[in-house]
Structure formats: C-alpha cells, structure tokens
Structure 1
Amino acid sequence: MHNSYFFGSFTKTIQDKANQLHKSLSKFLDIHNSIYYVDEVIALSDVKDTFKNLEALHEMHRLRDDAKQFITLQILRL
C-alpha cells in the first residue's frame, strides 16, 4: 500500500510538472506568436510606406515631365 501511494504521488507530481510545463510553453508560444504578428504588421506597414513613397516618386516624375512639356510648348510659342 505504501509503495502504491508513493508511486501514485510521484506520478501526480510528474503530471503536475508536465501541466506546468505545458502552460509555460503555451504562454511562451502566445508571446512568440504575438511578437511575430507585431513584426508582420510592422513589415506590412513598411511595405505600405514603400509603396506610398514609390507613388510619390512616380507623381514627382510625372509632374517633372509635365513641366518639361509645358516649358517646351512655351518655348515653341516664342
């Protein structure tokens, strides 16, 4: 009876430790996934900013080309 109680207690201790480890691992993975998600959001934001910058650059080139064309037309009218 004493042996059975010892092993039962020992098994329960192992199960408790395994449950604690599982909870700790779950918390770690939640934190890791949250950080990964934040990194993805930041990366996505960086990509959006890059596209905005490219659109602005494209607009600047279009305006430059329009200005060149306008100046050329003004010179031709002289």
Structure 2
Amino acid sequence: MASGVNRKPVGFSLLTYGFIVLWLIVAAFPFIWTFWGSFKVELDFFSIADWTNSIFGRRTEMTYGRHSPWLVMKARG
C-alpha cells in the first residue's frame, strides 16, 4: 500500500525523468553528428568558413543534387 508519506513528489519525478532525457540526448549527440556527417561531402562537413554548412550541406547539394545521399543510395541499392 502506498501512503502519502512513501510517494515521491511529482516535481522530483519530473526533474529526474527530465534529467535522464537530457543526459541521453547529450550522450547520443556525437553518434548522431557522426552519422549525419557521413552523408556530406568533405567541404561541407569540415567547413571553416561557415559551420552551418555541416548541417545544411550546401556543397553536397551542388555535388549530388538536393536529395543527394538518400536517393543515390536507394537507386544503387
């Protein structure tokens, strides 16, 4: 039987689960970033001029087209 004394406060539970979700996102970020970068050309991923090139891949679009890696892999596949 759970009485009012033995139950955890709702705020504490939300804080705990929020921390766990945040920690999982931070821990997974390097793996997601590496996976995302594997579909970019080198000029985009290691761009010194503008860091947003590694996210949006403007040079990758110029090289392979707008739907570059996904459609190329599917067509070859």
After TM superposition, the score normalised by the length of structure 2 is 0.36
Task: Provide TM-score, normalisation by structure 1.
Answer: 0.36
Greater C-alpha Rg: 1
**Higher RCO (CA < 8 A, seq sep 6+):** 2
Which has a greater percent of helix? 1
